[in-house]
C-alpha cells in the first residue's frame, strides 16, 4: 500500500482535493478532523487543555473555544508549542494505527490530509508527498470568503506556516491551484495516473 501525505497552506484547496479523492473511492485520513474530535466535548485533548490553558478556553458544552485558542497561539508562539505538545503526538499515534489497519484491509493507497506535515517533521513517514499551493492573494481571498476571520489574523496564520517555496521543494508532486475547480480535478486525475496504483 502506498501512503501519500497531502499538505499545503491554509486556503490552498486541500479540502477540494481530498473531497475529490474520496469521490473517486480513495480513503483519506483528515488530521484536522481528528484534531477537532480531540478538542470536542469529551475529547482526548480536553483534560490537557484545561490543565495548561484554563477554563477560559473551554466552551459551555465542554469543547475547545477554537476562536479564542486560535487568537492566542498565533500571537504567542510558546503557547502554540504548548498546544501542539498535547495534541500533535496523539494525532500521530492515531494516524499510525489507522495506516496499519488499512494496510491489513488491502487498500492500495491511503491519503493523509496533514496541513502541518513539514512543521511536525513527519514528512519521511510517507511514500509520497503532494503539496497543494496557490498564490498568497488567491489563498487569502478564499479564506476571507469562507471564514469570518479578521484579515490580520489570516496574515498571522499564513505567515506562521511553512514557507510555500520550501514545501514545493520538498514535495514529490505539486498542484498549483490558482484556477477553476475543474482544472483542479484534472490535476488530481493526472496525479492518480502518475502514482500507478
What pTM was computed for the model?
0.72
The answer as to whether 44 is a domain residue is: yes
Task: Please check whether residue 7 is in contact with residue 129, taking contact to mean a CB–CB distance below 8 angstroms.
Answer: yes
Does residue 178 have a pLDDT over 80? yes
Does residue 109 have a pLDDT over 80? yes
The answer as to whether 84 is a domain residue is: yes
- Number of structural domains (the chain) is 1
First-to-last alpha carbon distance for the chain, in angstroms, is 9
> Could you read off the pLDDT of 131-141 as tens digits, one per residue?
999 988 888 88
> Could you read off the pLDDT of 17-31 as tens digits, one per residue?
999 999 999 999 988
> Could you read off the pLDDT of 30-80 as tens digits, one per residue?
887 888 899 999 998 999 999 999 999 999 999 999 999 999 998 899 998
The answer as to whether 13 is a domain residue is: yes
The answer as to whether 196 is a domain residue is: no
Long-range contacts of 86-93 (CB under 8 A, 24+ apart): 86/45, 86/48, 86/49, 86/52, 87/35, 87/38, 87/39, 87/45, 87/48, 88/116, 88/120, 90/38, 90/44, 90/45, 91/31, 91/34, 91/35, 91/38, 92/120, 92/122
For the chain, what percent of residues have pLDDT higher than 70?
Answer: 98
Q: When comparing pLDDT for 109 and 88, which is higher?
A: 109
Residue ranges making up the domain that contains 23:
2-191
Q: Supply the CATH number for residue 49's domain.
A: 3.40.50.300
The answer as to whether 32 is a domain residue is: yes
The answer as to whether 197 is a domain residue is: no
Does residue 3 have a pLDDT over 70? yes
Amino acid at each position: 500500500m502506498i501512503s501519500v501525505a497531502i499538505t499545503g497552506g491554509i486556503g490552498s484547496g486541500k479540502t477540494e482535493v481530498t473531497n475529490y479523492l474520496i469521490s473517486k473511492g480513495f480513503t483519506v485520513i483528515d488530521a484536522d478532523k481528528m484534531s477537532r474530535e480531540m478538542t470536542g466535548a469529551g475529547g482526548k485533548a480536553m483534560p490537557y487543555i484545561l490543565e495548561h490553558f484554563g477554563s477560559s478556553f473551554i466552551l459551555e458544552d465542554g469543547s475547545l473555544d477554537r476562536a479564542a485558542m486560535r487568537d492566542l497561539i498565533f500571537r504567542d508562539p510558546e503557547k502554540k508549542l504548548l498546544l501542539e505538545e498535547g495534541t500533535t503526538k496523539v494525532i500521530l499515534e492515531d494516524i499510525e494505527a489507522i495506516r496499519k489497519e488499512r494496510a491489513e484491509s488491502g487498500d492500495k493507497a491511503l491519503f493523509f490530509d496533514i496541513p502541518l506535515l513539514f512543521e511536525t517533521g513527519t514528512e519521511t513517514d510517507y511514500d509520497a508527498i503532494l503539496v497543494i499551493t496557490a498564490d498568497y492573494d488567491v489563498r487569502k481571498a478564499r479564506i476571507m470568503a469562507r471564514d469570518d476571520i479578521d484579515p490580520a489574523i489570516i496574515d498571522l496564520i499564513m505567515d506562521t506556516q511553512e514557507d510555500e517555496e520550501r514545501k514545493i521543494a520538498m514535495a514529490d508532486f505539486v498542484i498549483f491551484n490558482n484556477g477553476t475547480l475543474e482544472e483542479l480535478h484534472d490535476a488530481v486525475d493526472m496525479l492518480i495516473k502518475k502514482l500507478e496504483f
